[in-house]
Amino acid sequence: MAKILSEEEKEVLLSKAEKEDVATIDNGATFTQLEYMARVYEATGQEKYKKGFLRGLDYLLEAQYENGGWPQYYPIRKGYYEHITFNDGAMIGVMQLLRDVAQRKEPYTFVDAARRNLAAKAIEKGLHVILQTQIKVDGRLTAWCAQHDRHDLTPQKARAYELRSVSGGESVGIVKYLMEIENPSPDIVRAVEGAVSWLERVKITGIRVDRVKDPSMKRGHNAVVVKDPSAPPLWARFYEIGTNKPMFVGRDGIVRDKLSEIEEERRNGYSWYVSSPQELLEKDYPDWKQKWGTTQK
């Protein structure tokens, strides 16, 4: 992002083909660059960086659905891109930036009051849709899918190997965001405790994932699940809704029970297990619980 571009590279980025219908919040895009631009403005005082930041902020505010969610691409790109997207921290990254703007935190103190008010309203709407999309099974709160339908908020698939599921990965960022809210409402408390309870129930112990050197593989290694009673807990990236069964899916879209059963390219080119819930459960949640939590009814 901080690379000094050649004139040719600048021309490509400014071309009509590059600019039309490709703006996205996926993979840390847009909100990350906006934070960077705000810091550059803070350091230099040059108005062009302030103007650029405000244009980007206006874009994020405009891109939000009326129900509070954000699509992966805006202007809307047809397909799974138009779903409300939690995948890879997309929507939560936007909400964190808008929250800091609304609260006039550094480096966003230069943002005008009108935009701060709009940011505050946007995160309230975003919070509402987060609470609405949390998946319930038999009346019990679990966590979130990586993406939800923009209209009825149901869990939805994205790419062929990213099926409807409860996410052991993306849900962590959502819970951490909720835990950062001061004076949480009973609904927020229930959402946090429901998700934490679910993460406790679905943790996987007794295994680790090794990347074993293998020259026959395209990436030069093979992801192998190894039994290890002393290994720290892991979580599957995707769990089947209702059964909490870990899901491993290749580009054929067929669910397999084991990582070893999907093709080499997806097995070694995607993160099927995550460890991020461990810190949430062992540190973040106990600290939050002491301050705000109550036992879920």
DSSP assignment of 45-104: --HHHHHHHHHHHHHHHHHS-TTS--BSBSS--SSGGGSEE-GGGHHHHHHHHHHHHHTT
Residue type, 83: H
Mean predicted confidence (pLDDT) in 171-195: 97
281 DSSP assignment:
I
pTM above 0.85, yes or no: yes
pLDDT at 295 over 80: no
Per the residue annotation, which of 55, 104, 140, 159 is the catalytic one?
Answer: 159
The model's pLDDT over 102-135, given as tens digits with 9 standing for 90+, comes to: 999 999 999 999 999 999 999 999 999 999 999 9
Which helix (H) or strand (E) covers residue 140, if one does?
Answer: strand 140-141
- 160: nearest Cα among 244, 253, 241, 24: 253
pLDDT band at 297 (very low <50, low <70, confident <90, very high): very low
Q: Is 268 a catalytic residue?
A: no
| pLDDT given for residue 274 in this prediction | 97
Amino acid in the structure at residue 97? L
Strand 273-274 with 235-236, pairing: antiparallel
Catalytic residue among 27, 55, 104, 219: 27
Give the percent of the chain with pLDDT over 90. 92
Q: What is the spatial distance between Cα 260 and Cα 268, in angstroms, rounded to a whole number?
A: 10
Q: What is the pLDDT of residue 294?
A: 58
Mean per-residue pLDDT, 36-41: 97
pLDDT beyond 90 at 293: no
Does position 186 have pLDDT exceeding 80, yes or no? yes
Active site residue 159: yes
